[in-house]
């Protein structure tokens, strides 16, 4: 399967128009993390190097065809001294499949605080997915063979009072990535769509549903490396009307909070037809 470099590869067609590569996949539609990651790479290519991504907000409008490339049109909404903003639209066959706003910041000084990382088993104390060959894990391992993903068993999840549906996942990219911080940011944007919607199904394990990401928001808070272990602390505060709201905090293994994610997804009861 595709490496992250292949999955995020884009070609510049015009000053603000890019084409993202299609990659080998088992999925019937383009993986949402790949679309978001390619859109973010496109936006990054239009800003000065002194600006770093600090947030993105995207909507998945139509399923993408994984056999076809996606064209990304970037709009330069604002270029300021401290912040700049880009809007990106992903297009296939003349129709928008994804739209995203991304904001960039040069960085400033100010007060600092963060939540504590939950007390969970360390990744080396959990089995590699390749050693737990259930059909679901085998399928996922093939699709994302370049990622080491380790689920914290539900009996070991660090519980919080009043939080109804929780899931915790350790992950890292298996291969060494370049030192460029933007490479790690775009890699994490790709990865952030993986497993998150599953937190809405934790307390409904036997209910068959049709699942798809609807929108995705992400904030990058501190430097990190995507080829080192990161803990994705996920929860779903609400589900109803065929939609599930999910959120996640991403920590380094030494407890630094490096990103936050909120996503709503389709979890519609399967219909007989």
Catalytic residue among 38, 42, 213, 234: 213
Catalytic (active site) residue 82? no
Catalytic (active site) residue 193? yes
Q: Give the C-alpha separation, 41 to 154, whole Å.
A: 35
Q: Give the C-alpha separation, 259 to 273, whole Å.
A: 40
Catalytic (active site) residue 199? no
Retrieve residue 218's tokens.
Answer: 């992400």
C-alpha 216: how far from its chain's center?
A: 8
Catalytic residue among 166, 168, 236, 263: 263
**Alpha-carbon dihedral sign for residues 152, 153, 159, 162:** positive
**Contact 30/185 with Cβ under 8 angstroms?**
no
**Contact 201/245 with Cβ under 8 angstroms?**
no
| 38: Cβ contacts below 8 Å, ≥ 6 apart | 7, 8, 10, 18, 20, 21, 70, 72, 90
**Contact 237/245 with Cβ under 8 angstroms?**
yes
Catalytic residue among 148, 193, 227, 233: 193
**Contact 189/40 with Cβ under 8 angstroms?**
yes
Q: Give the C-alpha separation, 241 to 103, whole Å.
A: 31
Catalytically active residues are 193, 213, 263
């Amino acid at each position: 399967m595709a490496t992250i470099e292949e999955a995020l590869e884009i070609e510049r067609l015009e000053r603000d128009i890019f084409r993202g590569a299609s990659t080998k996949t088992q999925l019937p539609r383009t993986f949402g993390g790949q679309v978001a990651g390619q859109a973010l790479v496109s936006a990054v290519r239009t800003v000065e190097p002194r600006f770093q991504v600090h947030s993105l907000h995207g909507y998945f409008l139509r399923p993408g065809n994984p056999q076809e490339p996606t064209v990304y049109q970037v709009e330069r909404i604002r270029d300021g001294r401290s912040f700049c903003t880009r809007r990106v639209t992903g297009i296939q066959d003349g129709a928008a499949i994804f739209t995203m706003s991304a904001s960039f910041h040069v960085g400033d000084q100010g007060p600092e605080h963060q939540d504590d990382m939950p007390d969970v088993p360390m990744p080396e104390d959990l089995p590699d997915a390749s050693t737990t060959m259930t059909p679901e894990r085998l399928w996922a391992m093939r699709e994302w063979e370049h990622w080491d993903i380790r689920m914290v068993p539900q009996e070991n999840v660090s519980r919080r009072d009043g939080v109804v549906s929780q899931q915790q996942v350790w992950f890292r990219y298996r291969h060494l990535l370049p030192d460029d911080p933007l490479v790690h940011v775009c890699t994490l944007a790709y990865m952030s769509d993986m497993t998150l919607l599953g937190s809405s199904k934790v307390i409904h394990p036997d209910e068959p549903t049709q699942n798809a990401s609807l929108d995705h928001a992400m904030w990058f808070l501190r430097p990190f490396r995507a080829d080192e272990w990161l803990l994705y602390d996920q929860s779903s505060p609400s589900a109803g009307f065929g939609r599930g709201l999910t959120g996640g905090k991403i920590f380094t293994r030494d407890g630094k909070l490096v990103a936050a994610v909120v996503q709503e997804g389709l979890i519609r009861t399967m219909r007989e037809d």
